[in-house]
């Protein structure tokens, strides 16, 4: 097999998710990366998501990806899209234009995610066929120049996410190996993985270390540990860095995942710390400190129990910190989320641990002047 590729960069990787569907209700487009000042602070963009239906890489949303016509005003370079035969439009064309302005920026196409991981079970049964399908899609002549890498966001190998996978502990490594063999060593292969630091949890259900050995970078999703998916609480910030007295679940904090991965032999320099640009919250809460009971999910703009940082910083400002992250109680609502200050704490941790940088979900949760990505970028210096 191929030799292990070196991790990219110098511990200063700043990697952000661009959500394919953000161009709709969120009205967040590639141009916003420029106007917010974010593009200049990034090393990589993860474009999320491609689908995995039938154990094959496939287009997630063709309209958003390559068909939507951008006006001159909406476009990165002030040039409108055309309907000429063969012309690329949509976010893919905007990313192409972005890369012309920021030639060091890498764009990675991420496949799977919570909703679209089901096809990985079939992919694991024939990893070579999966890798071939991914290669043919990512390297399609219409947009091959847009992408510098492919990302596997399998939630979760040999464990349960939206659905359950029982393909066995070797399946993750088999899929990653097939992709590395097909794409070669000059192409980036990355992966978002569980950040379950508990004993016998998701990170122990599959042989992650062997797969990660073939990756350039790995993204443990150190967020969403707690939330109104448990509608009665107990309240807890969704992305604690460290444990604290009364934390609801053993191993459900960021450092637990990082230390577990280190203990499996994963190099620190390949790991990026995950940051959420959103909060998770409950309503019907009477207690300001974490650990209180609730009656359900707090109202959110797009879905119950979740709200963007850019909204929460004004609607429910942080009133305390615990476990290296922040929380807020306003009325009967209780929210946990990261602020520029707690991101600073987390970036100091990332540097002290020798991590390769940080990644975040996702751009549209930040303020219009990019204050969270600025906190990441400045904190890693």
Q: Could you read off the pLDDT of 60-70 as tens digits, one per residue?
A: 999 999 999 99
Catalytic hit among 20, 74, 155, 371: 155
Answer for the pair 93, 69: CB distance below 8 angstroms, yes or no. no
347, 376 contact by CB (below 8 A): yes
Distance of CA 166 to the CA centre of its chain: 24
Q: Is the pLDDT of residue 267 over 90?
A: yes
The mean predicted confidence, pLDDT, of the chain is 96
Q: What is the pLDDT of residue 137?
A: 98
Active site residue 155: yes
272 and 357 Cβ atoms separated by less than 8 Å = yes
Q: What is the pTM of this model?
A: 0.96
What pLDDT does residue 11 have? 75
Q: Number of C-alpha atoms within 13 angstroms, CB side, residue 157?
A: 28
The 10s digit of each residue's pLDDT in 251-266 is 999 999 999 999 999 9
Cis status of the peptide bond prior to 283, with omega within 30 of 0: no
Is the bond leading into 172 cis (omega within 30 degrees of zero)? no
The Cα–Cα gap between 293 and 232 comes to 6
Of all residues in the chain, what percent carry a pLDDT higher than 70?
97
DSSP state of 18: E
Q: How many CA atoms lie within 13 A of 107 on its CB side?
A: 27
Whether the pLDDT of residue 2 is over 90: the answer is no
Residues 6 or more apart whose Cβ sits within 8 Å of residue 348: 379
Q: DSSP code of 65? A: I
Q: How far apart are CA 21 and CA 113, in angstroms?
A: 13
Which residues in 281-307 are b (16+ Cβ under 10 Å) and which e?
bbbbbeeeebebebeebbebeeebbbb
In tens, the pLDDT along 41-86 reads 999 999 999 999 999 999 999 999 999 999 999 999 999 999 999 9
Q: Interior CA angle at 111 toward 105 and 114, to 5°?
A: 120
CA distances in angstroms from 223 to 33, 83, 124, 236, 240, listed in the order given: 23, 41, 26, 12, 8
Domain boundaries, the chain: 13-276+339-379
Distance CA 250, CA 247 (A): 7
pLDDT above 70 (res 10): no
Model confidence at 7: pLDDT above 90: no
Examine the pLDDT at 362 and tell me if it is beyond 60: yes
**pLDDT at residue 5, rounded to an integer:** 54
How far is 204 from 207, CA to CA, in rounded Å?
7
Nearest to 241 by CA among 360, 323, 340, 335: 323
Residue 57 tokens read as 């890489």
Q: In 10 A of CB 242, how many CB atoms?
A: 15
Q: How far apart are CA 26 and CA 160, in angstroms?
A: 29
- What is the mean predicted confidence (pLDDT) over 155-180? 98
CATH number for domain 13-276+339-379, candidates 3.20.20.80, 3.20.20.450, 3.40.50.720, 1.20.1250.20? 3.20.20.80
SS3 168: coil
- pLDDT tens-digit map of 108-146: 999 999 999 999 999 999 999 999 999 999 999 999 999
């Amino acid at each position: 097999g191929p030799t292990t590729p070196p991790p990219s960069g110098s511990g200063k990787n700043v990697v952000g998710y661009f959500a394919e569907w953000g161009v709709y209700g969120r009205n967040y487009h590639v141009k916003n990366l420029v106007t917010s000042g974010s593009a200049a602070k990034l090393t990589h963009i993860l474009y999320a998501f491609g689908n995995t239906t039938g154990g094959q890489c496939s287009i997630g949303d063709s309209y958003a990806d390559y068909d939507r016509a951008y006006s001159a005003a909406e476009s990165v370079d002030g040039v409108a899209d055309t309907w000429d035969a063969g012309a690329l439009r949509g976010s893919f064309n905007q990313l192409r234009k972005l890369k012309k302005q920021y030639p060091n920026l890498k764009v990675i196409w991420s496949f799977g995610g919570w909703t679209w991981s089901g096809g990985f079970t079939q992919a694991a049964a024939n990893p070579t066929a999966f890798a071939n399908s991914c290669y043919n899609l990512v390297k399609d002549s219409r947009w091959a120049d847009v992408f510098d890498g492919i990302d596997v966001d399998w939630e979760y190998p040999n464990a349960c996410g939206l659905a359950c996978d029982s393909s066995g502990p070797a399946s993750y490594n088999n899929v990653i190996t097939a992709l590395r063999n097909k794409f070669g060593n000059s192409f980036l292969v990355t992966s978002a993985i569980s950040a379950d630091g508990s004993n016998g949890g998701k990170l122990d259900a599959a042989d992650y270390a062997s797969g990660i050995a073939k990756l350039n970078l790995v993204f443990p999703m150190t967020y969403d540990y707690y939330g109104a998916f448990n509608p009665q609480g107990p309240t807890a910030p969704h992305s604690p860095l460290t444990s604290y007295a009364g934390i609801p679940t053993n191993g459900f904090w960021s450092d637990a995942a990082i230390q577990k991965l280190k203990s499996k032999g994963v190099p620190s320099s390949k790991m990026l710390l995950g940051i959420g640009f959103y909060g998770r919250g409950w309503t019907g809460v009477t207690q300001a400190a974490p650990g209180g009971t609730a009656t359900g999910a707090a109202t959110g703009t797009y879905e119950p129990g979740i709200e963007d940082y850019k909204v929460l910083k004004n609607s429910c400002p942080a009133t305390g910190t615990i476990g290296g992250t922040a929380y807020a109680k306003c009325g009967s609502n209780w929210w946990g989320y990261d602020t520029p200050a707690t991101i600073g704490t987390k970036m100091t941790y990332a540097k002290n641990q020798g991590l390769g940088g940080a990644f975040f979900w996702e751009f549209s949760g930040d303020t219009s002047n990019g204050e969270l990505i600025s906190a990441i970028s400045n904190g890693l210096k």
